[in-house]
A and B are shown apart, each in its own frame.
Chain A
């Protein structure tokens, strides 16, 4: 199929970016979206044009490195997948595809479609862990049974891949779904409960400092999340945060 691509190009963080249009031919439905970009890039190199920079790594939907706002939606029009799992059969011959970087003040553009998501890392640094030594002198893994229901909920929260689609989709560029997933995972496990108060206060504080917007419960994050992280986690974090504020 033939496609017209409208792609955001930006030399570096300080440069003023803009859209460039590229025509691409010979794309098959079985190709993944990123393979389509590989082909574009190889064509650009052959024309001596600098290729389009985009983040990607595992290409099987688990590392969270790929991003891209495709036709106005993070990870493209399909739900429950990352950009690397999107296949070209989703598009038609003659389509125009607009590709932009994830946009948020807290995700500054590094180059072209590559954004800096280290704000997510800093939220994790602030408390996304259980303070246990890695010495190996811990108690036996089965010494504290965990209710299966909670273990499953914790697992569901833990499946977050940190891709940032929640922020990209949110009209307020809020990072509540990301932060709440981590807060929930630990709050639901007996091992993590002990530090729950400090953790939620610190992580929310860091989240706010990074310049993410406020949550207005539009629910866009949950729908666009490639791993289907539930909004319930946000409610849980609100609860944890408010009760922590009283205690603290």
Chain B
């Protein structure tokens, strides 16, 4: 009954109600875009949520090398490896050639990033689209567990790799048997997921210098895989994987003064950034960007609220006779609230349908990919806005009605 009476209110002022639907859908769309942009900023900091920021360092060997300098740098790294209070995780990366039976369309190479189990498992910050993270899946005999970027591979796919024999330092001639390796896809990550792929060196880095969207990591190869260098199968081919000169150093429970000294020495011979400092720099950037967006969000919501109140006032004046007739026929305040809730609900459902259409169109057009990241924030804030709008749509007519009497309304109309 309330739904029927609420829908009658919709039919009395079709143009105004259509305007309301478009207005609400627009404000929800804009708000969600802004939230998505803010979420995207936090994707960088979310990617390190499993790290102990105070005890973790990003280290990149200096590029200004003489042979002596390189030797010295390697000594310092070895000192870190030998110190029982420091866990050293190297980062491996590059391209792998696909064996022709693994070609997907004309794809010949895939990008890869590998590190050890410990660091690799921390990078699993809930970005999987399907399947399991490579450290969580069971080991398959004869294949390396990998997580692949969405688009080219699905969970369960076997990727056949032809390894580059020139990676081996001992390789001196062209005459060599090809070496093959298999990978099994245990999980697929979203292309906008944030993943660890260091791209630069230097001091005073932010997290965005070492963590970025996975689809950018894939580069010209168009797809990428991630795996652990500690994988039993990967270990067999460790020499074929290229160290990038970057490592993550973590102070463990055995750390003492000597560990801190080794870390400090490394800082003198290369680029050393504490994760906490990088996190703080990133947060400053994020706050600055949010402050730029907040006035825009506030302005959009304010415009929507003011427009909504005006339209509801006009709607209420136009519908006053209808409300008065309902009153004569036995409506009470509780009925009135329910009718208005039904009316608001129909408007909100229509707005949400329009919002979904607009959103889907923008996603299919690829507008959103590099702009926004979705999270529960979008759901919470959208629901909050919807509740607030419904409150206005119920409160304004009730306020109007409380100021008038049915008999006066009937006389005036």
State whether these chains interact: no
State the B residues within 8 Å of A (CB).
none
